Amino acid sequence: MFQNFRLAMAWVHTWFGLFLGFVLMVVFFFGSLSVFDREIDRWAIPESRFEPQPMPSYDEILKPVFEDMQPSKESVDQMRPRVDGPMPEHFDTPVRWGAYTTHRDPVLGLFAGYRVPNAKNPDELVWGTRTIDPRTGDALPDDQLKIGSRFFYPLHYSLNLHWMDLGYWIVGLAALIMLVALVTGVVMHRKLFRELFTFRPNKSKQRSILDLHNLTGVVALPFHFMFAFTGLVIFAGIYFPVTHTQLEPLHDLHEVVESQETGLPHESAGVPAPTASVDAMVAEAQRRWAARDMAGDVGFLALQHVGDANGYVSIYRAGTDRIALTGEGIHFKASTGEVLREDPPPSAVERIDEFLTGLHLQHFRHWLLRWLYVLGGLAGCACIATGFLFFVEKRKRQHAKRGQIGARVVDAMAVTTVTGMLIATLGMLIANRLLPTNLPARGDWEQYCFWGIWVLAMAHAFWRTAPVARARLAPAWGEQCWAIAVLAVAAVLLNWVTTGDHLLKTLSVGYWPVAGVDLFMLVGAVVAILAARRLKRRARPQPAASGELSGETAHA
Amino acid sequence: MPENIMLSVALILSVAGMGWFALALDTHWKQVCGKQPRGQASSRVLRGLGGAALSLSLILCLKVDHPTMAALVWIMALAGAALIVAFTLSWRPHWLALLAARPPRR
């Protein structure tokens, strides 16, 4: 079929890269934003603009909040068909309570799981969540969408497409193709080291685009490879769902055996028992971590079988000092406060798994590395975007001559996923500042704005790429660059007008979450303007492309 | 040395190291220094300097953080440094004459 191996690899790289590149663009861009998801939350929810807080006292703050919680309406509605008889009005048997925080969270997320009477599967629970100000225990309004951690971050790994978990599968396939694209790309690229630093903006358009594609792909190759790979490792349980299909009985048995080994009861005893001081347990856990010379902030605190004689409290530390996603959990008997179990040191396999997942999920405290991750992610975006541009540049003259629309369609899709995605993102942040604060389901409206604006940007992209069919530059690119610049500045100004937090203020008090988001958008605006002006210069007629392309570009 | 300074030095060293590696390649040497012969700064010496700078950068990273974290910081710093060197070469190549200890090409 192909003359040689390299041509075969080029075919795979071109076509698989093209089709899943649109997905990868979304994954890379929102992955980069997710590095600072908690900071974007602060920007979007002005009430939460204060310093990160440690896990508050359970006895004083958390206990009354947990006791006040109830499962969410959605969770109860979902459960309804799986229950014999009517659902109760009030759920009063909590099975699991948990609180989770990181070193970047001012607010604290809580969840509670409740037993449902007459459930067909008695192990299935209904769930409620709440976000509180840990200093007072006051709840934040449910309607406020945490845009960073609850919209951009899930968009990164699931495209927010939850029907049949399709989003996870598409992203998984894209990650697999990413690995393939990296390997085939290296095979195609004949001068990997000799041209490592090569970018020739003054050569032909195809040549300079390909240079940039190679540069951003190769210098961040370890990053691209590790992130695509670890992303797959993290969701291995979804992609190989054996624990809840073929091996379900084994999985259930394993849970029981494991609880016998660990001494942490699998079932509740059915005998009520009061809970001892959890604060004392936290103090004991911190003493034990300190004895092992580890940072001792509590990251995750959970009560299992709440108020039951078999109840236990698990306390995990926030592993801010390591890449590995560790917890060094310590488990206490809830009624007495005695230590039931200390998690043993991980085995070699567990260690590798913790490192790989931790590398991707980044719970560590290291601002430089976080920014370097953003750089790697944006390099990935540049690599994919230049891939699209190269595809179009290489084919548009030929397609124009033959009257085919392929190049135009790809260019329109590229505009949609590159600049259109940025416009949708900025549009969502602007909607977040403009929608009335008392609007019911405000978070849903913000999401509609995001998707609606993206569709509009797509329509514009398809409309204004018509000149590509005549082998010319699409005006859509430049126009959307200007839109990005205007929207980014507007978002920064709206943040000032609606909250009073202008850059001079946030910078002078050093409130980096908000100052950083503002600055990032302003830098984005400057880059967009530079790009738009450059595109205008390029749009002027210029001598036809040269014949100096090397064999490499010819078959890429 | 405070950690921020050590990490800053590590970043500067990785840029310098990548710069030396680039100068060891004929095309980039010509971009930076024009027709001036390399003389004693043979490509082997330049590669040696580059390797030494990158190693020193790794050592500094290891001094600041746990080895698992330091390795990631270093690898990502190399990626960033390579991008900086590549863009400097295409935008203001004569700046890298500093690393070659030569007057820039006219």
Q: What is the pLDDT of residues A23-32, one digit of tens each?
A: 999 999 999 9
CB atoms within 10 A of CB A308: 23
Q: Does B5 touch chain A (CB under 8 A)?
A: no
For the residues A124-146, what does the mean pLDDT come to? 92
A424 and A459 in contact (C-beta within 8 Å)?
no
pLDDT-based confidence at residue B48 (cuts at 50, 70, 90): very high
Residue B1's Cα: distance from chain center in Å? Answer: 22
Q: Mapping DSSP to helix (H, G, I), strand (E, B) and coil, where does residue A450 land?
A: helix
Residues on chain B touching A362 (C-beta within 8 angstroms): none
Q: Is the ipTM of this complex over 0.90?
A: yes
Domain boundaries, chain B: 3-100
Query: If you measure CA to CA, which chain A residue comes closest to B86?
Result: A197
For the residues B29-37, what does the mean pLDDT come to? 86
Structure tokens, A163: 């029907």
Q: What is the pLDDT of residues B51-69, one digit of tens each?
A: 999 999 999 999 999 899 9
How far from B57 is each of A373, A489, B53, CA to CA, in Å?
18, 38, 6
Residues on chain A touching B73 (C-beta within 8 angstroms): 366, 368-369, 372
A27 and A156 in contact (C-beta within 8 Å)?
yes
pLDDT of res. B36: 81
C-alpha dihedral over A389, A394, A396, A397, to 10 degrees? 150
Query: If you measure CA to CA, which chain B residue comes closest to A221?
Result: B79
Q: Which of B66, B73, B89 sits opposite A322 (nearest CB)?
A: B66
Structure tokens, A441: 């389901």
* Contact flag A197-B68 (C-beta cutoff 8 Å): no
Q: Mapping DSSP to helix (H, G, I), strand (E, B) and coil, where does residue A320 land?
A: coil
Under 8 Å CB pairs connecting chains A and B tally to: 73
* Contact flag B79-A376 (C-beta cutoff 8 Å): yes
SS3 content of chain A, % helix, strand, coil (to 5): 60, 10, 30
Q: How far is B40 from chain A (nearest CA, A)?
A: 22
Amino acid at A185: G
Structure tokens, A481: 């660059």
Residue A256's Cα: distance from chain center in Å? Answer: 33
pLDDT of res. A238: 87
Residues on chain A touching B82 (C-beta within 8 angstroms): 196-197, 215, 219
Residues on chain A touching B17 (C-beta within 8 angstroms): none
Structure tokens, A223: 């990053």
Structure tokens, B85: 């060197």
Nearest to B21 by CA among B104, B94, B96: B96
Amino acid at A73: K
Structure tokens, A73: 């309406």
Residues on chain B touching A352 (C-beta within 8 angstroms): none
Structure tokens, A503: 């850059």
Flag whether pLDDT at A545 surpasses 60.
no
Q: How far is B65 from chain A (nearest CA, A)?
A: 8
Q: What is the pLDDT of residues A87-130, one digit of tens each?
A: 888 998 999 999 999 999 999 999 999 999 889 988 899 999 99
* Contact flag A219-B83 (C-beta cutoff 8 Å): yes
Higher per-residue pLDDT: A245 or B6: B6
Q: Which of B68, B76, B90 sits opposite A322 (nearest CB)?
A: B68
Q: Does B85 touch chain A (CB under 8 A)?
A: yes
- CA dist A373 and A356 (Å) reads 15
Q: Which of B27, B66, B79 sits opposite A223 (nearest CB)?
A: B79
DSSP notation for A286-303: HHHHHHTT----EEEEEE
Handedness of CA A248, A250, A252, A258 (dihedral sign): negative
CB atoms within 10 A of CB A459: 13
Q: How far is B85 from chain A (nearest CA, A)?
A: 7
Q: How many helices (H) and strands (E) does chain A have?
A: 20, 7
For the residues A526-535, what does the mean pLDDT come to? 95
Q: Does B28 touch chain A (CB under 8 A)?
A: yes
For the residues A52-72, what does the mean pLDDT come to? 95
Handedness of CA B10, B15, B16, B22 (dihedral sign): positive
A477 and A415 in contact (C-beta within 8 Å)?
yes
Query: If you measure CA to CA, which chain A residue comes closest to B72?
Result: A369
- CA dist B67 and A355 (Å) reads 12
Q: Does B87 touch chain A (CB under 8 A)?
A: yes
- CA dist A513 and B78 (Å) reads 27
A425 and A450 in contact (C-beta within 8 Å)?
yes
A461 and A424 in contact (C-beta within 8 Å)?
no
pLDDT-based confidence at residue A319 (cuts at 50, 70, 90): confident
Q: Does B56 touch chain A (CB under 8 A)?
A: no
Q: Which of B18, B73, B86 sits opposite A369 (nearest CB)?
A: B73
Q: Which of B25, B72, B90 sits opposite A369 (nearest CB)?
A: B72
How far from B12 is each of A322, B5, B58, CA to CA, in Å?
24, 10, 12
Query: If you measure CA to CA, which chain A residue comes closest to B20?
Result: A197
* Contact flag B83-A364 (C-beta cutoff 8 Å): no
Q: Mapping DSSP to helix (H, G, I), strand (E, B) and coil, where does residue A85 land?
A: coil
For the residues A346-373, what does the mean pLDDT come to? 93
Q: Which of B68, B77, B86 sits opposite A198 (nearest CB)?
A: B86
Place of tokens 């459960």: A79
CB atoms within 10 A of CB A90: 7
A5 and A361 in contact (C-beta within 8 Å)?
no
Query: If you measure CA to CA, which chain A residue comes closest to B68?
Result: A323
DSSP notation for A162-231: -GGGHHHHHHHHHHHHHHHHHHHHHHH-TTTTTTTT---TTS-HHHHHHHHHHHHHHHTHHHHHHHHHHH
Residues on chain B touching A200 (C-beta within 8 angstroms): 90
Query: If you measure CA to CA, which chain B residue comes closest to A200?
Result: B90
* Contact flag B73-A223 (C-beta cutoff 8 Å): no
pLDDT of res. A17: 93
Residues on chain A touching B77 (C-beta within 8 angstroms): 372
Q: How far is B73 from chain A (nearest CA, A)?
A: 6
- CA dist A458 and A392 (Å) reads 17
* Contact flag A369-B22 (C-beta cutoff 8 Å): no
pLDDT of res. A85: 86
pLDDT of res. A324: 86
Flag whether pLDDT at B28 surpasses 60.
yes
The b-or-e profile of A152-182 (16+ CB within 10 A means b, else e) is bbbbbbbbbeeeeeebbbbbbebbbbbebbb
Instruction: Give the best residue of A191, A197, A320 to mutate against chain B (max B CB count within 10 A).
Output: A197
B38 and B29 in contact (C-beta within 8 Å)?
yes
Q: What is the pLDDT of residues A418-446, one digit of tens each?
A: 999 999 999 999 999 999 988 988 999 99
Q: Which of A198, A215, A372 sits opposite B73 (nearest CB)?
A: A372
pLDDT of res. B49: 95
- CA dist A207 and A18 (Å) reads 19
Residue A425 phi, psi (nearest 5): -60, -50
SS3 content of chain B, % helix, strand, coil (to 5): 80, 0, 20
* Contact flag B76-A223 (C-beta cutoff 8 Å): yes
* Average pLDDT value over all residues in chain A: 92
Residues on chain A touching B83 (C-beta within 8 angstroms): 215-216, 219, 375, 379
N-to-C CA span, chain A = 16
